[in-house]
Structure 1
């Protein structure tokens, strides 16, 4: 399991971010705040009469703290220093992600695993120079969710070379952090999107569900919103989409190298599952479970989702003739907007 820069590799797009984009008069005032975070962008829509003065600066400060905690592209971040063995002290951002990831790793028998960093680095997906034909077997000895544990505020590694990649959960977790902060300020209706990962609370300015568009997972569809697969409505849930159709490269041997890996084998995962959109209680969970589906592939994902009534999903896959097909959980069917 592993994902590279999330904003470049995700299929999710906030296609109808503003309630004002819908037809008819706007019923409630709204405020839009956007900016840059974690190598991508963020968008926040607040609905209501409460003052939003000064929120932009406070949000940027919060997001700066998150970036300085979990970013693999920031060499001075806490996570980068933990991976280099310069510190073992965790902050709440990293600790919460590790706890969530550990639960999903155990549920999936290690298919989802944040200790994938040696592989994602070797293949050039964490800002490192890719290694031509990396020795995967030598890297696998340092990969495994059971090779790390939290002891108080410390991260304990079974080997100094164990490293963590949070790219499959960090942006979803960031959306959750911002959501909880907005909750503490008394906001009841808002949408938070960070690098494509979403948490929505309450209702939009029209009093309806927040409307989210999912991109068609086709190579060449590099502009978010240019070609949409479906629109769905959500409230009080997190949403994320994973896919391999944007973030990949061809190596010197002509092999397609995608940014999703099976932590058990070390191999890039290529299957007929093109994208997986997951709706969960939190954006961090949706983020991680979306990645897990891409690792498992279509049939195993369907079996897993059928055992998890707490998750909703929309899967896009390709049949033997190259036709696009879809699978929806029963609950997701009710969220699809006509």
Structure 2
């Protein structure tokens, strides 16, 4: 498939790298209102809008700031182009509804790059949960203790604000991990939490802790931070009727489950995984999500993280922002 990448920020380089690694995929250019040809990643052509693109393409990859995703996605749908959106889908219920509706109306595929779902260990845990192999799940505790310096937030006016970024660490840095959590366990029945801003000069939170209560009785916790210098790999600890296991940066690191062999793959955890920097040097998981996206389109199936399913991560984050210290 041929792609136009909307946006030329840091993450667009990762998508370009991923497309270059896939022999049947190709980036034909970028949408940018500010870049020159020389400054465009890969020195590919650029256009100010999708309507101005003058060469054939099949799909767009949206890499603009969070709160702008719906603009490009809806425009692409109206042009009959498939849409892969960098996480999150968007930052409001209304924007997400409009994106999903536009994709359905124009019969195009809408997916989100929640590429942690492609990790073999996450997929193994998902399959076991669907089989009820662990029995009753008692607790699922997710820790996203990351670090971002002040220079990161100062690099763009919108960073760490609500209008464009959609919030702080929960909407931005921990969004991938929260999506994986919701993918595994679903949405809670109720929640309560505390958020605050400690180490950075930003509008939104840079640290928070939330307790989740599920209809089946499970108690979950989410801790997300960009104050935890130097930054630590995300960690998910699960306690169940059959025992306990731990995922460290999406790879099984501890397994004490009765009667079930450890399904850990031989793939070691990535050394950083976004814990201390926004830069993504390894594009392999983006390659996997693009491959899944193309297979879904070609086979008429649902992608791994389609728009309707991927929106649940934003739904949970918005509930967290509205709860603060009261139950909702």
TM-score (structure 1 length as normaliser): 0.29
TM-score (structure 2 length as normaliser): 0.29
